Structure 1
């Protein structure tokens, strides 16, 4: 029996421990490992909240900033129990909940300042737990994004943790754009402040653009035994330099990725999607679930500043309870540059989409929260356009209804390492319209399982996005057999975790 440890910032197997797609992966991959009869331990920070009600396992003592630190390891109950999977959280008072999903901090002045501190503490405590044998003898440690990559720094440079060299380390990249860059010196969140006794190899750790800084994403790529992107096409993308907004590639780390590839350490394996135990909303609940979500948000203190807008959305949705629209286009996503850059830079293109929907008695429903300037843009557009319903909050039930009842799922991501939303929409026979990039290339085929657009220049992309939207509406309106065939083909697609984890075992874990 092989023994695995997953180290990440998120784990959706636990309540309230997810901000993005990484949480799904960290939930689903251990379940496949369990099905194979192997053992998986999963550890995330407690964020000063997830350890409540947990079972204390051990106390961990280690050194940081030249001081003695003590952290506590708790075993916690997951949402669903599976054999041979053990879930842990690590508590230390300095590892606090952030303002993004009560996980990450948003530091506008010094990006990653607070997060770097809490993940330095977290990773050092995890290294101590491994050394202490808290998870038994490990065969593979699987790290996710920059939040966990400091373990590779400790493995290479810290005299206390040379035992980590006996274990295979795998590093998954979920979002290459977020790199965890912090100074080497002269800052409370610098490497020198937290690890004053370690000789720092600046060249091996530095960011190419900010040479007085460590790049924690680069540390993961440079020092892991295997590096993994979450789709084959994204692997090809990241080997090339970015040229935004036309193309998002290696984001300054393409040289490291090319080196990993040349050394046979870089693998592109598509994420899977869950096709079992799906939360099923009843069909026809989309408007009811919207109203219920709006009433809940209106009672939340943190939503008071947008209470007027939520009431405006409620009033709008009531019209559609009686007079159902003939076509629903929808999007569910965090409101960020990655997901909606095209609409932020060209709001007129989005307005054009709304006008075209109007002609077919259609509406656009967007659900999400995120960057203030994106929320503001969509609130403004919602006040101006009757057929644009912007549900500015988070609701699992409403998301399920949207995947189930939309006619077209819209995903114009600027870049997409893999994407889960398009798989969830397709699982319900809901065709998607996507930007032909990264994992979206690997999952949606134009006029076969959905619709896609691309272009050499930004203007060409916008033009082609509108044309692809017209094409989708035209098939829906004028070629019902073709539309049904695309729906059926989308629903038939199977991106299973079983298939993905087979590849993990072969390529990443090297345990077969």
Structure 2
């Protein structure tokens, strides 16, 4: 094993202590996988009041106080350290009158731009003042995109110059744009950066785009699947950043996320009625029976197919297709279970209406909430899983479903296109065929895949069992993604050492 690298992740989320979406899973999953490969990995997070403190081990405050600049003054930051999932984490608690991370929620505040540009600078200040010399500083999404320009403009000149910067964008929908003057608060030079070839947003001359800045100022830029990396280089997929990505395409790559195969493991999952694995599928039946009983669904026919869906009900996830799938599954003689809720009031109301309609129905149940334990039970009980996303940077649902022997029915987009391969597609080698896919985001497209899946299930039980065994044996762990990151890091560090004066 070559000499390990020293990697610092600066992020707004990390599972399980501060998790809103997939970003939190990536920081923890990639961090653990790199640590297993012999690298020194540390994480820097804001110290939110609403973190799951019970998941942090040995949390303690350091004596040293780190001062960082904001709005023309220096502010003190109290630094805490602890261990999360075996990884060392530094938590930054700003002593700032705005109580940036004392708001009862992670995002969605009017001053998010200020909160996270403050945090990005404080994180670099922590590295500088503690004399740390990471090989790689890895920042994520718009919230810590500020790290890239801050590093090259302010911190490399101060002597924190050992690092290469890697930036990962987990979803190009969210770019954190703000009025140009807001960028000055963290000490960046607005006049220098508010230019079309730097951080100026395409929408207007006085808007600044943190994600654009990170693409331009980072040494490595990644996103969460190869197909999504292609999609965002087109005008409709790139949300205004396609030309920036294309002119920086040499350093831009898509790497498929993994899942945490320790917590998503049907053989050891404590939430399940019965544990099972690819060699012993008996437990899958027991979980199906238990879930039906728990939700009051009919168990009259064990071979009635159960279709699962776990999602945030937002337009990105193909809400109209999910709604259609409920009724179509029923017509085709299946059962349907949906777990998820919507932050969009009219969508939430619509699904509450459907929930009422099927309240005491034998074959359909909607659970409009977030429920960790129930999600595990649904993955384990369902025969197939529906993921009809309009766009999907990576998607973890399809990977988790397969791990639990549930066959994905997915639209060919983003990471779904890189992980679900149609069993009726002759151009795909048999060993990779693992689900049912469709191309167009409409009812016909969905019907085509759904009907084939249900027919397949009903027609040949033996063949279906073999398909379940196959999908449960696919390796969706972080191991291969971490290897790709390791190669990118190593090459970038080697290039820097070969020509020290080149940024």
What is the aligned counterpart of 1:267 among 249, 253, 267?
A: 253
C-alpha spacing 1:508/1:210, structure 2 compared with 1 (3 Å)? farther
Equivalent in the alignment of 2:121 = 124
SS in structure 1 opposite 2:352? helix
Taking the aligned partners of 1:61 and 1:430, their CA distance within structure 2 comes to 51
TM normalised by structure 2 equals 0.83
Which deviates further from its counterpart, 467-476 or 325-334?
325-334
Equivalent in the alignment of 1:163 = 159
Tell me, yes or no, if the aligned pair for 1:51 and 1:91 is still in contact at 8 Å.
Answer: no
Taking the aligned partners of 1:429 and 1:490, their CA distance within structure 2 comes to 6
- Asked if residue 435 in structure 1 is aligned to residue 411 in structure 2, the reply is yes
Taking the aligned partners of 2:143 and 2:490, their CA distance within structure 1 comes to 21
Indicate the RMSD between aligned Cα atoms, in angstroms.
2.7
| Residue-pair matches, total | 452
Following superposition, the deviation at residue 331 of structure 1 comes to 1.3
SS in structure 1 opposite 2:296? helix
Following superposition, the deviation at residue 354 of structure 1 comes to 4.2
Taking the aligned partners of 2:122 and 2:457, their CA distance within structure 1 comes to 55
- Asked if residue 381 in structure 1 is aligned to residue 337 in structure 2, the reply is no
Following superposition, the deviation at residue 167 of structure 1 comes to 1.1
Following superposition, the deviation at residue 508 of structure 1 comes to 3.9
Taking the aligned partners of 2:299 and 2:316, their CA distance within structure 1 comes to 33
C-alpha spacing 1:161/1:397, structure 2 compared with 1 (3 Å)? farther
Matches within 5 A, 1:386-397: 386=361, 387-397=363-373
Equivalent in the alignment of 2:179 = 183
Following superposition, the deviation at residue 272 of structure 1 comes to 1.6
TM normalised by structure 1 equals 0.81
Following superposition, the deviation at residue 251 of structure 1 comes to 1.4
- Asked if residue 218 in structure 1 is aligned to residue 212 in structure 2, the reply is yes
C-alpha spacing 1:508/1:211, structure 2 compared with 1 (3 Å)? farther
Taking the aligned partners of 2:309 and 2:70, their CA distance within structure 1 comes to 44
What is the aligned counterpart of 2:331 among 356, 361, 368?
A: 356
Equivalent in the alignment of 1:339 = 317
Tell me, yes or no, if the aligned pair for 1:158 and 1:198 is still in contact at 8 Å.
Answer: no
Report Cα offsets for 1:30-69 as digits up to 9, x if no partner: 2122222221111111123449672112311122111221
Taking the aligned partners of 1:103 and 1:287, their CA distance within structure 2 comes to 38
Following superposition, the deviation at residue 21 of structure 1 comes to 1.1
Taking the aligned partners of 1:414 and 1:430, their CA distance within structure 2 comes to 21
C-alpha spacing 1:198/1:382, structure 2 compared with 1 (3 Å)? closer
Point out where structure 2 has 5 or more consecutive residues left out of the alignment: 275-285, 424-432, 495-503
Tell me, yes or no, if the aligned pair for 1:403 and 1:425 is still in contact at 8 Å.
Answer: yes
- Asked if residue 202 in structure 1 is aligned to residue 194 in structure 2, the reply is yes
- Asked if residue 421 in structure 1 is aligned to residue 400 in structure 2, the reply is no
C-alpha spacing 1:475/1:321, structure 2 compared with 1 (3 Å)? closer
What is the aligned counterpart of 1:63 among 53, 62, 69?
A: 69
Matches within 5 A, 1:25-44: 25-44=26-45
Which deviates further from its counterpart, 321-330 or 31-40?
321-330
Following superposition, the deviation at residue 413 of structure 1 comes to 1.0
